[in-house]
Chain A
Amino acid sequence: MGFSVTTLIFAMVGLIASLSTRICFNKGPSANLLHLTLVMTATVCCWMMWAIVYLAQMNPLIVPILSEGE
């Protein structure tokens, strides 16, 4: 799966998570905004980490050189 497809998957997961938080923990508009912020921050952090590791491996400059006896 490519980069964009997985990014879209992350976006979908983030959306579903925020909707389910809204449904399960509905405690007024200010609390909902807090929950939304937390879910968005978590999604962005997780996506950034995945994206960095994926991009770094797309066009590698060095390759694995196995060690002796493997």
Chain B
Amino acid sequence: MAENGGCCPPMDLFRSEPMHLVQLILPIESAHLAVAYLGDLGLLQFKDLNSDKSPFQRTYATQIKRCGEMARKLRFFRDQMLKAGLTPETRSALEDDLDVDSLEVKLGELEAELIELNANSNKLQRGYSELVEFKLVLHKAGEFFQSALTNAEARQREIGSTQTGEESLETPLLEEQTTDQSKQVKLGFISGLVPKAKSMSFERILFRATRGNVYLKQAVVEHPVTDPVSGEKVEKNVFAVFFSGEKAKNKILKICEAFGANRYSFSEDISKQAQMITEVSGRIAELKTTIDIGSLQREKLLQTIGEDYEQWNILVRREKSIYHTLNMLSIDVTKKCLVAEGWSPIFATKQIQDALQRATLDSNSQVGGIFRVLHTKESPPTYFKTNKFTSSFQEIVDAYGIAKYQEANPGVYTIVTFPFLFAVMFGDWGHGICILLATLYFLAMEKKFSSKKLGDIMEMTFGGRYVILMMSLFSIYTGLIYNEFFSVPFELFAPSAYACRDPSCGDSTTMGLIKVRDTYPFGVDPAWHGSRSELPYLNSLKMKMSILLGVAQMNLGIILSFFNAKFFRSAVNIWCQFIPQIIFLNSLFGYLSVLIIIKWCTGSKADLYHVMIYMFLGPTDDLGENQLFSGQKTTQLVLLLLAFVSVPWMLLPKPFILKAQHNDRQSGQSYIPLQDTDESLQSETAHDSHAHAEFEFSEVFVHQLIHTIEFVLGAVSNTASYLRLWALSLAHSELSTVFYEKVLILAWGYNNIFILIIGIIVFVCATVGVLLVMETLSAFLHALRLHWVEFQNKFYEGDGYKFYPFSFKLASEEEE
């Protein structure tokens, strides 16, 4: 592309890196390795040559599915590890070369093992809970029988032995005395556990369903029991239902099922009950040991997985991204090779060729990869090589719009002017020192914080630490100029220039002081603070300062548009845009700046508002006492004429010249230079010639009209917009004064230690919360706006697209 002239070498970061479209032809054997090495290099942005194919039609769809399966298994392991409370070790670098195929097999084996262990342990756990419940039922229901027996014995002793010895308590209630089977009524019982929450309704429904012909006895279990079905701990009651008849039994069974009551049956015999209890206790102990062994085994397995987990994760992600990239290459079946197209910076050519050579060697391929540069009229992506200092400033500019390929980057000047304008609005060297200390803390902990995961706000603040550092340094400088240390002025550089008129200082509150010495050498004189005429004086000073700084920055913007026009070799932009713009802005607002400086230097009492307004309304009038220099009337007339001439100069010539250029091109396009028979190139030239054929004169004219109106009206509104520098700095100093005088000094005046401490706490909280946080954000935002709108609309187009190379590092950062 064009060079910057012979005067100086191209400046870093001023224009985006020159890029070219490259074509790589890779033999299939070395394609995978080549893409892997290019991913490590991270300087090639692949173009998707298969964009019309669906994901399933692409060459490597099966490989991607395999990687997806492996990723799913890894996620499963991660879930299991988190459930068991283990965290995988973090090791970010890939240590040894693991083969993908063997990894796949290994993952499959591990997954099967883990699933089996889980299923077994679940089954065992379920059996264990059932046994525990059974034991409870045996205990409690056995107690029912025990208590019934003792009651019956007591009753029998009371009544006396009226019965003959044939019958005893042990005989069943109804013997089979009748031979009629159908009239036999079987008395039975059902025992089990029911959740305590449902026990009342259980009892009620049993009563209603059996019409009160059952006897239900419940006993509370003291501590929650693990339910075998759900695996959770539930409060339960042991119940025993005594009934008679087959129909009642069925009803009770159905009700038990509906209530989720687990049934456990046992014999009535008391001796057999005791036997069962010992048996069940033995089985419970056995199961417990088995379960413990099982969970130990599982933990060991998970630990071995955890050691290698991070490494496997990185490998699988790498493979997946390599296959995604390979899918973007077009396969040339006859030549058994893959064709890749991509953008890369010109400086990376050697590195890419090296990577291709290494891949050829490592894959033992017969043929090497071919590297070719293609010529195209497509606009390349924008790539700025930034380091950790400049990257945050570049991000600020990119947030508004990515620079067009190789246009002037406002980021270069933003590095200085953004913190500077912030500081103009923030100006207090006490607050500046506080922010500087905070930033130095961030910088000291840089290594630790960059690897840790921080919250959203902390991450933004940490990412912008260099911006904040510059902001704090400039704030200290402007604080010294405004002479404000937590709003208190100091006589740091020389005694104040003002003193009383006479030794008694009688009229200092009516007529004021006078200037007896030389001007205070650095900054605002400390005598002004707290005086009654402080605000009128400082307001006038700061407003004029805002105008001067604004005009300077806008002129810088227009000059950058000149450099752009020179770089892109557009003479029409220089003569029909840059020159009339400079003339217009400076004949009006540049002249105002000059007047301001002359007024200050001469101490004249001229009213600048009057001068500027009557320059338009009555240019031929006599200036009278508003005369600042001789020949002012003629100068103003000339400047007014220049401003009026420059407006049609901005508007009219450019569309006609562009039309003439287009006509020249059209007539000269009957002969097209010979091109390669490359497919992609042919489609591109066809597209370009089609674009050149379109030239709507009305569209170009309207575009130029809008541009002109925007500039002319914008000249006034943008200059006025810079007055926010005055407004915010006034707000900051007033807030600071209020907090100092009305909180700290007031608390000091009471001569009470408690009120003083409370006052200090309130002062610190207010300073940190309002001034250091809110005002910082506010001034940051306004300085940002001044850059994005007032500075950049003079030259910046910002319609490019960012360079996103294929890089494993970038991909892993994005996933996090």
Contacts and interface: CB of A to CB of B under 8 A. Distances in A.
A34 interface: yes
Interface in B710-758: none
B549 A61 contact: no
A33 B498 contact: no
A41 B413 contact: yes
Interface string A38-70: 100110011011101111111111111111101
Given A56-B541, A66-B531, A61 B508 contact: no
Interface in A8-46: 29-31, 33-34, 37-38, 41-42, 45-46
Nearest to B549: A48
A7 interface: no
B530 interface: yes
Q: How large is the interface on B (under 10, 10 to 19, 20 to 34, 35 or more residues)?
A: 35 or more
Contacts of A42: 416, 420
A18 B659 CA distance: 47
Contacts of A58: 519, 600-601, 603
Nearest to A6: B521
A49 B511 contact: no
Contacts of A68: 509
Nearest to A58: B519
Contacts of A45: 416-417, 420
B420 A62 contact: no
A29 B13 CA distance: 12
B10 interface: yes
B766 interface: no
Interface in B517-547: 518-525, 527-528, 530-534, 536-537, 540-541, 544-545
A12 to B, nearest CB: 15
B567 interface: no
Contact of A49 (B415, B528, B545): B545
B497 interface: yes
A67 B478 contact: no
B378 to A, nearest CB: 26
A34 B512 contact: no
B12 A65 contact: no
B323 to A, nearest CB: 38
Given A49-B478, A49-B545, A50-B522, A55 B533 contact: no
Contacts of A33: 8-9, 11-12
Interface residues of A, number: 35
B420 A37 contact: no
B629 to A, nearest CB: 15
Nearest to B497: A57
A48 B551 CA distance: 12
Contacts of A31: 12
A1 B497 CA distance: 13
Contacts of A52: 541, 544-545, 548
Given A60-B515, A66-B508, A68-B509, A46 B477 contact: yes
B533 A62 contact: yes
B412 A64 contact: no
Contact of A1 (B512, B521, B530, B548): B521
Nearest to B420: A45
Contacts of B497: 57
B415 A38 contact: yes
A53 B603 contact: no
Interface in B594-608: 597, 600-603, 605
A43 B544 CA distance: 20
Contacts of B508: 65-66
Contacts of B548: 48, 52
A33 B521 CA distance: 33
B69 to A, nearest CB: 48
Nearest to A46: B477
B512 A48 contact: no
A12 B600 CA distance: 25
Contacts of B531: 64-67
A41 B417 contact: yes
Contact of A70 (B412, B521, B522, B530): B530
A14 B552 CA distance: 19
A29 B416 CA distance: 20
Contacts of B498: 63-64
B182 interface: no
B513 interface: yes
A41 B410 CA distance: 13
A56 B537 CA distance: 10
Nearest to A68: B509
B510 interface: yes
B533 A65 contact: yes
Contacts of B602: 59
Interface string B404-422: 0000000011011100100
Contacts of A55: 597, 600-601
B513 A63 contact: yes
B197 interface: no
A9 to B, nearest CB: 10
B383 to A, nearest CB: 15
B326 interface: no
B152 interface: no
Contacts of B413: 37, 41
A30 B417 contact: no
Contacts of B597: 55
Contacts of A50: 481, 522-523
Nearest to B478: A49
B705 to A, nearest CB: 35
A53 B497 CA distance: 14
Contacts of B527: 64
Given A55-B600, A66-B532, A34 B11 contact: yes
A48 B8 CA distance: 26
Contact of A65 (B13, B532, B544, B545): B532
B514 interface: yes
A6 B602 CA distance: 19
B9 A57 contact: no
A2 to B, nearest CB: 8
A63 B514 contact: yes
A49 B421 CA distance: 11
Given A53-B481, A61-B605, A64-B533, A30 B11 contact: yes
A42 B415 CA distance: 9
B512 A64 contact: yes
B14 interface: yes
Contacts of A2: 518
Contacts of B523: 50, 53
B424 interface: yes
A59 B497 CA distance: 12
Nearest to B553: A45
A63 B527 CA distance: 10
Contacts of A70: 509, 530
29 contacts: A2-B518, A30-B9, A30-B11, A33-B8, A37-B413, A38-B416, A41-B417, A42-B420, A45-B417, A48-B548, A48-B549, A50-B523, A53-B545, A56-B540, A56-B541, A56-B600, A58-B600, A59-B601, A62-B536, A64-B512, A64-B513, A64-B531, A64-B537, A65-B512, A65-B531, A65-B533, A66-B508, A67-B509, A70-B509
Given A37-B413, A66-B513, A67-B509, 18 more contacts: A1-B518, A1-B521, A6-B521, A29-B9, A33-B11, A38-B412, A41-B416, A46-B477, A49-B477, A49-B481, A50-B522, A53-B524, A57-B497, A57-B520, A63-B513, A64-B533, A65-B508, A66-B512
The 7 closest A-B pairs by CB, nearest first: A59-B603, A65-B512, A64-B531, A63-B512, A34-B12, A41-B416, A55-B600
